[in-house]
Structure 1
Amino acid sequence: MTSATPTPMTMLVPDFPFSYDSWLAHPAGLGTLPAGRAGTPVAVVGAGMAGLTAAYELLRLGLRPVLYEAERIGGRMRSVPFPAAPEHVADMGAMRFPVSARALFHYIGLLGLATRPFPNPLSPATPGTLIDLNGQREWARTAEELPAVFQEVAEAWEKTLQERAELSTLCSAIRQRDTRTLKLVWNRLVAAFDDQSFYGFLATSPAFRSFRHREIFGQVGFGTGGWDTDFPNSVLEVLRVVVTEADAHQLSLVGGAEQLPRGLWEHRPERLVHWPRGTSLASLHEGSPLPGVTAIRRAADGFRLTDRSGATRTYPAVVYTPHVWTLLNRVSCPPDLLPAEHWTAVERTHYMGASKLFVLTDRPFWRDTAPGGGREAMGMTLTDRLARGVYLFDDGPDRPGVMCLSYTWNDDSLKVATLSAGERLAVLLERLAEIYPGVDIASHVIGDPVTVTWETEPHFMGAFKANLPGQYRYQRRLFTHFLQDGLSPAQRGLFLCGDDISWTAGFAEGAVTTALNAVWGVVRHLGGASAAGNPGPGDLFGELAPVELPDA
């Protein structure tokens, strides 16, 4: 007797467990517009993953999306070519995608993009993992090969999740798409833990009484690496990631993540309303988006947007995808653009800092035998020193390799923020020489490094949003903004989306799903509706709504 095939995991976020992948796959499509609305221009500000998703679906529905972009298509799905060999790229932002991100993978499949396993710590995709803590080094290929104290930490984490967060119940409900059970349990956790930081959650858990266990967990973690940069954040931020398996079974896009938004820009949908066959976003825009938006003003017939060239255009609806902080300092807009409580949520949004440094190498030399023999010269590295995380990418022994020599967050990111790319490389090589004595990394480096520090990028000011304790109410306001029946008529028609509006910031899935919320909102704002038999996120909001915590 054969066992049933396990139900695949999906990022069915427990705050609002709407099945976006099913909505996208339904043959009836996402909605219809009333007669006379075909070809209506809708502004889409930002050409990252959220902007391209929204624009692509609005195009398919028969509207005319008009994209604005301040820098380059892709947003934080930024793939930068190495100067010495432009055919090789470094993913400076998003670079690993969980297979549970099923709405995202709808578009990856649509474009036929190739994927491969991401070389996370202790993954079969990496030759081995070196953990360097407090001057002590441990080498392993699997978690079972690590010393007993690491097993104790892993068991403490699993025990804490089961006993305090009902992990098995939540995961089972997500797999079965049992939204009733999922909401029942999750709403209880929100009420219990909204005011709790991740570190506080660990420190008050019986299994993590030992500071040493908390320290190891912070530096090493499990799956994608250390968790200590999340210690100040709300524990709810971490639990969402864990229960949806967003930190597990991750893939990268062969050729770079930027292929996805750029692919949507160029793609010619097979099923189009209003537009002739062969129309794409690129063809509608004659090859490039309009310059970045500098001002948004309300008008009697919608919104007036002014771009960097000084041109002003009017639209009945606007989809706004950049980080919401840009509304405070990059885009001139009046106070009545958003309700006062939404401005408070914008002001309180907290962003994580992050830095990366990549180099191209002549070959994947890390697979050479280490001095003294027995194992590879280098492995994926987790360390409490400046580099924090080192990732290794190769396409075979006779091809150049790519090294992410450092992937850091928050305080660790700030330690290198004032250094030039060359200075960062010199410091990192010095630190890594202490971990790998006898391995001459510099001799294999080709050309200059490529780097990014997202908190100093003027149109981002951070890598992604991460709520602090007590910020659930603010996040709920931003996420539910696409439902505008409760707003005054003068405040309708602008739709916020992007991963900082989502419940799972830092994951491209959140950019996609909130963009789809905005698409639903635009269609409804223009008098349309979801397709028969395929209700959209707003149609099912009443039964799936995020729990509303009391203010008093």
Structure 2
Amino acid sequence: MSPDVTAFGPDFPFGYDKWLGHPAGLGTIPAEKHGAKVAVIGAGMAGIVAGYELMRMGLHPVFYEPGRIGGRLRSEPFTGQTDIVAELGGMRFPTSSRAFYHYVKKLGLETRPFPNPLTEAAGSTVIEIEGQKHYAERLEDLPPLYREVAEAYDAALEEGARFSDLKAAIAARDVARIKEIWDPLVDAWDERTFYDFVVSSEAFRKLSFHHREVFGQVGFGTGGWDSDFPNSMLEILRVNLTELDDNQRFIVGGADQVPKGLWAHAPAGPMHWSPGTSLKTLNAGAPRPGAARLFREGERIGVTDVWGHTELYDAAVVTCQSWLLTTAIDTEEALFSPKLWMALDRTRYMQSSKTFVMTDRAFWRNRDAEGREVMSMTLTDRLTRGTYLLDQGEGRPGVMCLTYSWMTDALKMLPLPVEKRVALALSALEKIYPDVDIRSHIIGDPITVSWEADPNFLGAFKGALPGHYRYNHRMYRHFMQGEMPRHERGVFLAGDDVSWTPGWVEGAVSTALNAVWGVMRHLGGRTERVNPGPGDMWDELGPVRLGE
């Protein structure tokens, strides 16, 4: 772990944090365009960031949202509570996500280390596979097999991706060096899976099948990796290289405080608008209903909401998950090229399920006769897969994420009501902790989510399959519209599923900022020479293009 490693590339090594923090600002809009309305479809993190920065430039973002502000930053309060929540979406945020933390700091929110396995914040970790249970407070406490697995993966990364060299280049923000190493890896690994990377490495070939099995079940850092085995290896390399799976923190009181806070935040010295103006005041206190139709009328973009009201805009930022453009929003086909439609439709979303309960206290901190915590952060091959214990502080209720699962494990939960999910999770955990009466500590009502069952999402987030790099490239570069035919201009895509790092909020923020640059240029605006934006640097830093 290096304090200098950030989500800087590797595909597009542009410093969004530096752009955001520069005193020259992100850019300016011509005065005659001040107050122009821009539709923002989706009030998740991407939409809110895009709207907030466009407002600061003097534009008028108008939001369309069928659910709630925050999107997949969804913090659900427990019964009788306001700041003790179940984090149904994003819940752990790596410190390498510098652009995201720009807004966390702006709002003055408190963060604390997230209790991932084998971290100080967790206190202790229990790994139980095939009925064999191991208690650990450090990696060194586990049997040699687990250290062998961790060392084999480190060796595989060096062998297959020049990992140390590339991380050093990212830490130094050495663009030429990053591209020298990364660009050949794109061609080498786009069409190969994560599992292929593991099993074909020299380090893992020397080990048993059980070593690979343990790696899939347990992994290291945030937990097991086997749900990602079918994904393109590039997806995993980005996460490892930019330390998205390391040094993670949670936001005290709920992650949705970030988008909700920006919604109500009045920035100092915005262009055009009077002091005290916020997204909330510009939108009469609440977003409009969800978008039902998206179309072009002349040079303007039309949006019709679910109640039939239509309004025309100078531009639109679309941050909803891409499948909704064919399943929920009647989108005029000519707005996007056939190749972009192919990319949008071929996006593949991963399933995810979580189930939480609140407890009377953080009882797991009690010690048994051997001096061990009576319950630990737990990784297992049982249906719970990952169980996280969140201590809310002395004298306060605790929070247990009983089960956090993906893909086929999440699908096992899909048809079940919350009570059945809790019962199954408790049954599994009681086999691991037969002497712990978990049930006696549960208070309030349980909370659960299956993102694939939510009609506004249809899945948790994108997981790129082998061969999807070209699709990702088409979506990510969409904000660069200078060479597009006029009938495709004016609608800008954003959101983590457009980014290179789906499932991570930094991808939502960075693509929102791409869209801000795109809207600014579309309306005749510009950046200052001393603070060029992502589009200004595209020709120099743009992702490598693979042949079609």
Aligned partner of 1:126 in structure 2 is 122
- Following superposition, the deviation at residue 294 of structure 1 comes to 0.5
Q: Distance in 2 between matches of 1:379 and 1:25?
A: 40
Q: How does 1:1-400 map to 2 (within 5 A)?
A: 8-209=4-205, 210-370=208-368, 372-400=369-397
Aligned partner of 1:521 in structure 2 is 518
Equivalent residue of 2:67, what SS?
coil
More deviation in 202-211 or 356-365?
202-211
Q: For 1:317, give the aligned amino acid.
A: A
- Following superposition, the deviation at residue 397 of structure 1 comes to 4.0
Q: Distance in 1 between matches of 2:444 and 2:427?
A: 18
Is 1:450 the equivalent of 2:451? no
- Following superposition, the deviation at residue 395 of structure 1 comes to 2.4
Aligned partner of 1:402 in structure 2 is 399
Q: For 1:109, give the aligned amino acid.
A: K
Equivalent residue of 2:54, what SS?
helix
Deviations 1:119-153 (A, max 9, x none): 00001001200001011000000111111011110
- Following superposition, the deviation at residue 33 of structure 1 comes to 1.2
Q: Is the 8 A contact 1:84 1:446 kept in 2?
A: no
Aligned partner of 2:541 in structure 1 is 544
Q: For 2:453, give the aligned amino acid.
A: T
Is 1:512 the equivalent of 2:509? yes
Q: Is the 8 A contact 2:495 2:507 kept in 1?
A: yes
Q: For 1:505, give the aligned amino acid.
A: P
Q: Is the 8 A contact 1:28 1:532 kept in 2?
A: no
- Following superposition, the deviation at residue 399 of structure 1 comes to 1.4
More deviation in 471-480 or 27-36?
27-36
Residue 528 of structure 2, aligned match among 513, 526, 531 = 531
Equivalent residue of 1:36, what SS?
helix
Deviations 1:514-534 (A, max 9, x none): 000000000000111112311
Deviations 1:72-128 (A, max 9, x none): 000000000112434421110000000000000100011010000000000100120
Equivalent residue of 1:85, what SS?
coil
Q: For 2:431, give the aligned amino acid.
A: E
Q: For 1:470, give the aligned amino acid.
A: G
Q: Distance in 2 between matches of 1:221 and 1:316?
A: 48
Q: Distance in 1 between matches of 2:20 and 2:444?
A: 44
- Following superposition, the deviation at residue 444 of structure 1 comes to 0.6
Q: Is the 8 A contact 2:160 2:197 kept in 1?
A: no
- Following superposition, the deviation at residue 7 of structure 1 comes to 5.9
Q: Is the 8 A contact 2:83 2:254 kept in 1?
A: no
Q: Distance in 2 between matches of 1:346 and 1:423?
A: 35
Q: Distance in 2 between matches of 1:368 and 1:398?
A: 14
Aligned partner of 1:3 in structure 2 is none
Aligned partner of 2:477 in structure 1 is 480
Deviations 1:145-165 (A, max 9, x none): 111011110110010111111
Q: Distance in 1 between matches of 2:94 and 2:7?
A: 9
Indicate the percent of aligned positions where both proteins have the same amino acid.
54
Q: For 1:309, give the aligned amino acid.
A: W
Residue 433 of structure 2, aligned match among 405, 415, 436 = 436
Q: Is the 8 A contact 1:7 1:176 kept in 2?
A: no
Q: Is the 8 A contact 1:323 1:498 kept in 2?
A: yes
Equivalent residue of 2:448, what SS?
strand
- Following superposition, the deviation at residue 299 of structure 1 comes to 0.5
- Following superposition, the deviation at residue 35 of structure 1 comes to 2.9
Equivalent residue of 2:267, what SS?
coil
Q: Distance in 1 between matches of 2:217 and 2:9?
A: 27
- Following superposition, the deviation at residue 8 of structure 1 comes to 1.7
Deviations 1:427-479 (A, max 9, x none): 11111111110211111100220000001111101111110001100000000
Q: Is the 8 A contact 1:301 1:315 kept in 2?
A: no
Unmatched 5+ residue regions in structure 1? Answer: 1-5
- Following superposition, the deviation at residue 309 of structure 1 comes to 2.1
Q: Distance in 2 between matches of 1:13 and 1:330?
A: 32
Q: For 1:271, give the aligned amino acid.
A: G
Q: For 2:152, give the aligned amino acid.
A: A
Equivalent residue of 1:296, what SS?
strand
Q: For 2:304, give the aligned amino acid.
A: T
Q: For 1:354, give the aligned amino acid.
A: S
* Count of residue pairs brought into register by the alignment: 546
More deviation in 31-40 or 240-249?
31-40
Q: Is the 8 A contact 2:149 2:215 kept in 1?
A: yes
Q: Distance in 1 between matches of 2:449 and 2:312?
A: 35
Aligned partner of 1:489 in structure 2 is 486
Q: Is the 8 A contact 2:383 2:428 kept in 1?
A: yes
Q: For 1:222, give the aligned amino acid.
A: F
Q: For 2:116, give the aligned amino acid.
A: N
Equivalent residue of 2:84, what SS?
strand
Equivalent residue of 2:153, what SS?
helix
Equivalent residue of 2:32, what SS?
coil
Q: Distance in 2 between matches of 1:47 and 1:288?
A: 10
Q: Distance in 2 between matches of 1:436 and 1:84?
A: 29
Equivalent residue of 1:290, what SS?
coil
Q: For 1:415, give the aligned amino acid.
A: K
Q: Distance in 2 between matches of 1:180 and 1:369?
A: 53
Equivalent residue of 2:51, what SS?
helix
Root-mean-square deviation (CA, aligned residues, Å) is 1.1
Q: For 1:530, give the aligned amino acid.
A: T
Q: Is the 8 A contact 1:121 1:223 kept in 2?
A: yes
Q: Is the 8 A contact 1:497 1:514 kept in 2?
A: yes
Q: For 2:333, give the aligned amino acid.
A: P
Residue 459 of structure 2, aligned match among 455, 459, 462 = 462
